[in-house]
């Protein structure tokens, strides 16, 4: 079982695990030649903290009723989820080399029908928070201690359905729900502020009845503290607004919109692995 909520976080160990996730991500993307680099790398620290510190889950029992649920609403960042599932023991690590290949369960977007450990098939942006609401309501009715975590992209929050879901979660006071927004400032068409400005982000979530926490999404100590605070907060759902850098960890990818959906070539992979200490 993953680390329980009351366990003290080993920050150094979590940082190392995040580094390993990034190595897996760039390798599988380079080998595949297809997939999303920037948004997978920007979310690596948050996903690491969820799977290897905060969430209660069992790789040997993926359907354990008391497990915490993770919804990757920005489903195109599937490589970060696949890397976490591999390192957590859900899937054979050798599968990572077959990302997006015909017949491989590691599709371009996560499929719950093909892969253990994937709670919900995602990829149609804007839908994940609605799904998370429904699961959170169901868990409340079942009176289980399980929690729901939903990771969204900042460009994704331009979708109207996100705000319908935000209003619903606030209305029902879903304090067993924690949303995380990966605020890396870029989407496929450019900077979020140029495509459709989303600021002021915190004020909007607060207006919909959410408890908000703003952090540096690459500071593991801040991520862990925010997840602990979210679990302790009662009466409202919590959203963690994480400022991140698209492509974090590899200088040639960082804050580059062109690496939203472009994979590393051979030379870029060599640079990435060197910078990641591999």
Which of 216, 238, 217, 107 lies closest to 169 in space, CA to CA?
238
Q: How far apart are CA 180 and CA 157, in angstroms?
A: 11
CB 89 within 8 A of CB 61: no
Q: Is residue 57 part of a domain?
A: yes
Q: Is residue 89 part of a domain?
A: yes
What is the Cβ-side half-sphere exposure of residue 124, based on CA atoms within 13 angstroms?
A: 7
Q: How far apart are CA 237 and CA 240, in angstroms?
A: 10
Which of 54, 53, 57, 21 lies closest to 40 in space, CA to CA?
21
159-170 pLDDT tens trace = 999 999 999 999
Q: Say if residue 189's pLDDT is above 60.
A: yes
Average pLDDT, the chain: 96
Q: Say if residue 114's pLDDT is above 60.
A: yes
- Length of the chain counted residue by residue: 278
Bridge partner list, 213: 240
Confidence of residue 5 (pLDDT cuts 50, 70, 90): very low
Bridge partner list, 70: 149
Q: Is residue 5 part of a domain?
A: no
pTM given for the model: 0.95
Question: In this structure, what is the dihedral angle of CA atoms 79, 85, 136, 36, given to the nearest 10 degrees?
Answer: 0
Element (H, E) at 82: helix 78-88
Q: What angle do CA 77, 93, 91 make, to 5 degrees?
A: 75
117-160 pLDDT tens trace = 999 999 999 999 999 999 999 999 999 999 999 999 999 999 99
Number of domains in the chain: 1
Q: How far apart are CA 191 and CA 80, in angstroms?
A: 22
Question: Strand, helix or coil at 181?
Answer: strand
Q: Say if residue 181's pLDDT is above 60.
A: yes
Q: Say if residue 238's pLDDT is above 90.
A: yes
Q: Is residue 236 part of a domain?
A: yes
**% of the chain residues with pLDDT over 90:** 96
Q: Is residue 6 part of a domain?
A: no
Confidence of residue 7 (pLDDT cuts 50, 70, 90): low
Q: Is residue 3 part of a domain?
A: no
Q: Is residue 74 part of a domain?
A: yes
Average pLDDT over residues 64-82: 98
17-34 pLDDT tens trace = 999 999 999 999 999 999
Q: Assign residue 123 the CATH number of its domain.
A: 3.40.50.970
Q: Is residue 131 part of a domain?
A: yes
Q: For residue 96, what are the domain limits?
A: 13-275
257-271 pLDDT tens trace = 999 999 999 999 999
Q: Say if residue 75's pLDDT is above 80.
A: yes
**% of the chain residues with pLDDT over 70:** 97
Number of separate helices (H) and strands (E) present in the chain = 10, 7
């Amino acid at each position: 079982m993953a680390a329980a909520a009351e366990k003290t976080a080993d920050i150094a160990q979590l940082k190392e695990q995040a580094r390993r996730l990034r190595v897996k991500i760039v390798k599988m993307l380079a080998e595949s030649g297809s997939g999303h680099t920037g948004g997978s790398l920007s979310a690596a620290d948050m996903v690491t903290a969820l799977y290897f510190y905060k969430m209660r889950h069992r790789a040997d029992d993926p359907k354990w009723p008391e497990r915490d649920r993770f919804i990757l609403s920005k489903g195109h960042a599937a490589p970060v989820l696949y890397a976490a599932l591999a390192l957590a023991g859900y899937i054979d690590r050798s599968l990572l080399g077959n990302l997006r290949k015909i017949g491989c369960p590691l599709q371009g977007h996560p499929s719950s029908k093909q892969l253990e450990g994937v709670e919900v098939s995602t990829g149609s942006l804007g839908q994940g928070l609605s799904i998370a609401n429904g699961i959170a309501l169901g868990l409340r009715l079942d009176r289980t201690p399980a929690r729901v975590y939903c990771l969204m992209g900042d460009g994704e929050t331009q979708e109207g359905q996100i705000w319908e879901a935000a209003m619903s979660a606030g209305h029902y006071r879903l304090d067993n729900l924690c949303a995380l927004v990966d605020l890396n400032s870029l989407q496929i068409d450019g900077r979020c502020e140029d495509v459709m400005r989303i600021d002021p982000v915190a004020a909007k979530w607060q207006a919909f009845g959410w408890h908000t926490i703003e952090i540096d999404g690459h500071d593991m100590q801040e991520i862990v503290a925010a997840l602990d605070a979210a679990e302790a907060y009662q009466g409202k759902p919590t959203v963690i607004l994480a400022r991140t850098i698209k492509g974090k960890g590899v200088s040639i990818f960082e804050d580059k919109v062109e690496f939203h959906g472009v994979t590393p070539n051979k030379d870029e992979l060599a640079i990435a692995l060197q910078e990641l200490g591999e």
